[in-house]
Chain A
Amino acid sequence: MTAVALLLSPIWLSWKNNFFRGGSSWSRRISLAILAASFWIGIYLVVRRVLRYFETVYELGPALAYQFLLIILLTFFSMLLFSNLVAALSTFFLARDLELVHAAPVSPGSFFYARLISTTLNSSWMVLFFSLPIFAAYGSVFGGGIILYFWLALILP
């Protein structure tokens, strides 16, 4: 486990250095954060409005909301499958640091798990992040309550 954490350390160290010592200005970062937050809130409002409309459709409403959720999950699944495959090829076989890591006494298991974690994080974080407002909208419309977020935290990763 220590070796896996060590192999992942350049990623978070690079992120930390880029954040605190990188060239991009704070105004640019704040603009990007505002843009992401607007997008996140926009998704939430649109999905909530669509679900509210479904609720008004006599008898078919719950089925429509259910089918809509299935389509969203299927879309996410396909996107994640494809992006994970592409990212895995790149991190396992084409990464520029392969020579450096392979020349060191690192066990194949540690190497595999470190690459697996970095592949999963790199290719999935954005889908996960932008799926949250959709699930939050479902929670809000159907009264999911706090338990919904508990299950989401358990199931989504």
Chain B
Amino acid sequence: MIQLINLTKHYGKLAAVDGLNLEVSAGQIFGFLGPNGAGKTTTIRTMMGILKPTSGRIILGEYDVLAEPQKAKAISGFIPDRPFIYEKLSGQEFLAFVGKLHRLDPARLNRRIAELLDLLELTVWRDELVESYSHGMKQRLVVCAALIHEPRILVVDEPMVAMDPRGARTLKDLFRSLATNGVTIFLSTHSISVAEEICHRIGIIHKGRLIACGTMEEIHSQTSGANGNLESVFLALIREQELASEVIST
């Protein structure tokens, strides 16, 4: 379960995230949508304890990220938008490093490495240096690293960037299967089709504020004049917000 309570993050005078409140239940895939600069990545980085919020609380599972960061991080996995992998390590060495950071015992670590490399079709590359991997393979390795400790919560920032259709399909299936097994997934994406396809609930953020949140049907009912798909609903909501802020400023 993920809870964001009145989460605010300021950079100087700019409010990147402004009083964000939301809750994601266990086993749910939550799609976090918004235009560029809306505050998606800032929200995710504060959730993972990488940035300190200006105010508000973040609860991951039963742990407050500010009060018990290590316990909160121990049950969470993170797939960043621009992941870093040590290029001079082999895939196996990188996964072993991340697994040891999560204090996995050697038997469990070896089992998980074998399972994940097999699942994401990287077994034959396990002993090759990461520098020889393609972009898609690196992304799959980062997914392996995020899942190595069998997290209860998975936070994902732009997962399908530059991934080929087959890789994207594997990842979507994986997210669905994880959610079925009770993993809570917080998925930030630009791709409306991905959100529409796999997310149980969707939140739309604009200028740091959550402007819509709910199931597809609930979000449809919040907009007037938008027909059919999520894309038109998303654009209608953003347009409404911009018109409202123009009216306020004049």
Contact = CB atoms under 8 A, between A and B. Distances in A.
Interface of A: 6-7, 9-10, 13-15, 17-18, 21-22, 96-107
Contact of B93 (A13, A103, A104, A106): A13
Q: How large is the interface on B (under 10, 10 to 19, 20 to 34, 35 or more residues)?
A: 20 to 34
A14 to B, nearest CB: 4
B84 interface: yes
A136 B115 CA distance: 55
Cβ-closest 9 pairs across A and B: A14-B88, A104-B101, A105-B70, A103-B78, A105-B74, A105-B73, A96-B84, A10-B86, A102-B50
Contacts of A18: 88
Contacts of A9: 97
A13 B89 contact: yes
Given A13-B93, A21-B129, A99-B80, A106 B101 contact: yes
Interface of B: 45, 48-50, 69-71, 73-74, 76, 78, 80, 83-84, 86-90, 93, 97-98, 100-103, 129, 145
A15 to B, nearest CB: 8
A107 B49 contact: no
Contacts of A102: 48-50
Interface of B is mostly: mixed
A21 B129 CA distance: 9
Given A6-B101, A97-B84, A106-B101, A14 B48 contact: no
Contact of A99 (B50, B87, B97): B50
B88 A104 contact: no
A13 B88 contact: yes
Contact of A103 (B73, B86, B88): B73
B89 A99 contact: no
Contacts of B98: 100, 104
Contacts of B80: 99-100, 103
Nearest to B45: A99
A100 B100 CA distance: 13
B101 A97 contact: no
Given A96-B84, A103-B50, A10 B97 contact: yes
B31 to A, nearest CB: 21
Contacts of B129: 17, 21
A51 B88 CA distance: 45
A87 B45 CA distance: 25
Nearest to B47: A103
Contacts of A107: 70
Nearest to A16: B88
A17 B88 contact: yes
A98 to B, nearest CB: 8
Contacts of A15: 88
B73 A104 contact: yes
Nearest to B93: A13
B62 to A, nearest CB: 15
Given A10-B97, A17-B89, A102-B48, 20 more contacts: A13-B86, A14-B87, A15-B88, A17-B88, A17-B93, A17-B129, A21-B129, A97-B86, A98-B50, A99-B84, A103-B73, A103-B80, A104-B98, A104-B101, A105-B70, A105-B71, A105-B74, A105-B102, A106-B70, A107-B70
Given A96-B84, A102-B48, A102-B49, A10 B100 contact: no
30 contacts: A6-B97, A6-B101, A7-B101, A9-B97, A10-B97, A13-B86, A13-B88, A13-B93, A14-B87, A15-B88, A17-B88, A17-B90, A17-B129, A96-B84, A97-B86, A99-B50, A99-B78, A100-B83, A100-B98, A100-B145, A102-B48, A103-B48, A103-B49, A103-B50, A103-B80, A104-B101, A105-B69, A105-B70, A105-B103, A106-B101
